[in-house]
């Protein structure tokens, strides 16, 4: 098969013509989609042609994935012939840049053209989404294998499209991390931010400091709500056996795996705060040098106040006045730089409590020597020292937005997260000339619960899919040229296993991927997006990915009106109907159908039960609000 400009489809007498445009449900949405008449039907023994050896590995990956459920025994051949052709452009197409691709399907075959192997990989991910859901199965699927005819041109809006996974609060195995990377690569993410260290565990082997993992990677086991006062601190003599870490060989394996998926890994070593695990291993790194410091077990060790300030009751910060701390960090980052070939290292910089610095004589002497009066400037001194260390390793620094407050050099890239302070922080970034990666809490923090609070894990804030899809990477306070891209973050204080991590990630990560990849304004069409989300849910489940169905749970809002409690119900998903009961019965399509806000008499009222239906069948979860919860809404 050969492709020419303006190719004529000539097998109409052999293959029936169908309009398959309704099956083209791609996430993230491409730059342009031109549905064509017809379909390409796969036959046994099809050939996959690849233009040069640089993309052989990717072609092999697709062949293996395709053959597993189809049993069509596709095979590879070098060159520009075959029913599927993968062609690296020569010369390059400037419109596609490094990650773009063109995909053409007609009744005689499939062509993917790109400037790089990454572009070819993304083109194959889109082709996979055009195939029936059975392509995600590990067992043979007895169906007709076909894809709709279409022409697609696609390239990303932003160069940085990231997902962060916190492995410090709860350890995830090497294989689980690889699975997570594979899952986000399906949706054209190109950065994996690996949060490797924090108060609750140090997860990466550093050969220069073996106690970072022999001590810092393990904590005493605990159950109960993470960070609550009833979760006990480690007791004297109690064995620390909960946790784990990655050897340097395992790190290299994950890095190489991610590279094959077009993903660069951004390692994070969170400093100068969030260092309790490191200090438990090496107490001399802190101001207090407390040898009783233990890796935090999820027990409460800080007090947070309503104005956003806080106090740490245990010293969890590195000592900025001690030269041995910088020698320690030089050796740590030396090993980190050798393990991760990407250009960035994330150094944290967030939520650093400085109360112990203020009391430390060494810190006071350093501030006098530097002629600085504000303790925040001492963090700026520390972070600029760290920036120079990392620069000496041939890397660039990323830090959370707090690092600007101490005057860190704009050679660092800022990861903006404190959405509630946008009007202060973003103008500061603009004035300072920083590059930004946008990850605001209100649209990009995936540890927030995503459905109804009665059935979701207890977290202090909510982030439904529709809110995630409203993410604006370029708010009015800044210029688009400042923004490298964006990222969503999964902190895992209350995510104890990998299936839960998947549940908290998908489908919200699909919203992030579309905002960062697709053309500006794409996320203004919620109804179109939710239709594609519903199309992708069974595909993800067939691939073994646990997907949250929270979008089907009604949105319940309580209002106090003249001393009475009223309830408003809504839905994220078009085409659903909501039924409720106040008589202890389970709601069905014969119960009260919601149409407008209703009053709940609190005296003698039984449980309020709510459920969404579609096509006369229940969809989503049954929500139950008991009397005590209803009464609490009046307080």
User: Domain 21-154 class?
Assistant: alpha beta
270 CB-side CA count, 13 A: 28
The crossing angle, in degrees rounded to 10, of helices 498-505 and 174-185 is 20
Residue 274 annotated to the active site: yes
- Secondary structure (H, E, C), 376-400: HHHHHHHHHHHHHHHHHCCCEEEEE
Q: pLDDT tens digits for 94-130? A: 999 999 999 999 999 999 999 999 999 999 999 999 9
Q: Where are the beta strands (DSSP E) in 422-472?
A: 436-438
Is 346 designated active site? no
Which residue's entry shows tokens 């989609």? 33
What is the CA angle 68-137-70, rounded to 5?
40
Nearest by Cα to 269 from 357, 180, 349, 161: 349
Q: How far is CA 224 from the centre of its chain?
A: 25
The active-site residue out of 238, 350, 351, 541 is: 351
Instruction: Identify the pLDDT of residue 1.
Output: 37
From the list 170, 195, 274, 536, the catalytic residue is 274
Q: List, in order, residues 6 or more apart from 418 with CB less than 8 Å away.
A: 401, 402, 425, 440, 441
- The pLDDT value recorded for residue 21 is 36
CB 372 within 8 A of CB 378: yes
Q: What is the pLDDT of residues 197-238, one digit of tens each?
A: 999 999 999 999 999 999 999 999 999 889 988 899 999 999
State phi, psi for 295 to the nearest 5 degrees: -60, 130
Phi then psi for residue 223, to 5 deg, are -120, 175
Q: What are the residue boundaries of the structural domains of the chain, listed by start?
A: 21-154, 160-546, 553-632
Task: With a cut of 50, list the residues of the chain below it in pLDDT.
Answer: 1-22
Classified by CATH at the fold level, domain 160-546 comes out as TIM Barrel (3.20.20)
Count of CB atoms situated within 10 Å of the CB of 575: 12
CB neighbours of residue 635 within 10 Å: 5
Cβ pair 484, 477 in contact under 8 A:
no
73 tagged catalytic: no
pLDDT at position 6, please? 37
Catalytic residue among 154, 183, 198, 493: 198
CA distances (Å), 78 to each of 2, 59, 529, 543, 560, in order? 14, 10, 38, 30, 70
CATH of domain 553-632: 2.60.40
């Amino acid at each position: 098969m050969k492709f020419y400009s303006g190719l004529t489809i000539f097998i109409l007498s052999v293959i029936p013509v169908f309009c398959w445009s309704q099956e083209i449900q791609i996430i993230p949405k491409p730059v342009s989609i031109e549905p064509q008449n017809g379909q390409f039907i796969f036959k046994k023994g099809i050939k996959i042609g690849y233009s040069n050896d640089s993309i052989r590995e990717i072609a092999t990956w697709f062949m293996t994935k395709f053959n597993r459920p189809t049993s069509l025994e596709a095979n590879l051949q070098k060159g520009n012939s075959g029913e599927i052709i993968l062609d690296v452009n020569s010369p390059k197409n400037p419109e596609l840049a490094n990650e773009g691709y063109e995909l053409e399907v007609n009744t005689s075959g499939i062509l993917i053209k790109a400037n790089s192997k990454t572009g070819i990989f993304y083109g194959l991910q889109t082709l996979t989404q055009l195939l029936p859901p059975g392509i995600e199965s590990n067992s043979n699927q007895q169906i007709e294998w076909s894809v709709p005819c279409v022409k697609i041109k696609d390239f990303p809006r932003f160069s940085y499209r990231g997902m962060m996974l916190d492995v410090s609060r709860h350890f995830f195995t090497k294989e689980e991390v690889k699975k997570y990377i594979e899952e986000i690569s399906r949706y054209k993410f190109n950065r994996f931010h690996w949060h490797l260290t924090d108060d609750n565990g140090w997860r990466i082997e550093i050969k220069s400091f073996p106690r970072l993992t022999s001590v810092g990677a393990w904590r005493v086991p605990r159950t109960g709500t993470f960070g609550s006062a009833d979760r006990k601190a480690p007791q004297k003599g109690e064995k620390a056996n909960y946790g784990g870490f990655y050897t340097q060989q395992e790190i290299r394996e994950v890095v190489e795996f991610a590279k094959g998926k077009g993903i660069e890994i951004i390692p994070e070593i969170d400093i100068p705060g969030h260092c309790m695990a490191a200090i438990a291993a090496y107490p001399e790194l802190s101001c207090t040098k407390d040898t009783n410091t233990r890796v935090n077990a999820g027990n409460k060790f800080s007090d947070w106040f309503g104005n956003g300030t806080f106090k740490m009751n245990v010293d969890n910060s590195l000592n900025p006045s001690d030269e041995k701390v910088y020698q320690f960090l030089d050796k740590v980052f030396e090993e980190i730089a050798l393990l991760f070939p990407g250009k960035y290292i994330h150094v944290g910089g967030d939520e650093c409590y400085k109360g112990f610095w203020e009391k430390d004589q060494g810190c006071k002497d350093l501030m006098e020597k530097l002629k600085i009066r504000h303790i925040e400037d001492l963090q700026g001194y520390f972070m600029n020292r760290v920036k120079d260390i990392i620069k000496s390793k041939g890397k660039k620094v990323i830090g959370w937005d707090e690092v600007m407050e101490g005057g860190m050099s704009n050679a660092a890239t800022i990861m903006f997260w404190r959405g509630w302070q946008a009007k202060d922080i973003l103008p500061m970034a603009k004035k300072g000339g920083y590059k930004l990666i946008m990850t605001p809490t209100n649209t990009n923090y995936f540890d927030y619960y995503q459905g109804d609070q009665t059935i979701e894990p207890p977290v202090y804030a909510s982030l439904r899919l529709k809110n995630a899809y409203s993410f604006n990477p370029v708010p009015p306070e800044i210029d688009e040229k400042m923004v490298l891209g964006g990222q969503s973050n999964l902190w895992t204080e209350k995510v104890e296993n990998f299936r839960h991590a998947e549940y908290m990630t998908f489908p919200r990560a699909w919203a992030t991927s579309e905002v960062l990849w697709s053309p500006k304004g794409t996320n203004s069409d919620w109804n179109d997006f939710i239709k594609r989300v519903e199309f992708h849910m069974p595909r993800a489940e067939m691939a073994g990915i646990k997907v949250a169905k929270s979008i089907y749970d009604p949105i319940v809002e309580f209002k106090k009106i003249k001393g009475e409690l009223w309830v408003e119900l809504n839905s994220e998903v078009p085409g659903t109907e909501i039924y409720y009961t106040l008589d202890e019965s389970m709601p069905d399509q014969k119960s009260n159908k919601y149409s407008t806000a209703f009053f709940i008499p609190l005296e003698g009222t039984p449980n309020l039960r709510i459920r969404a239906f579609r096509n006369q069948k229940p969809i989503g979860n049954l929500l139950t609000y008991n009397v005590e919860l209803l009464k609490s809404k009046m307080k």
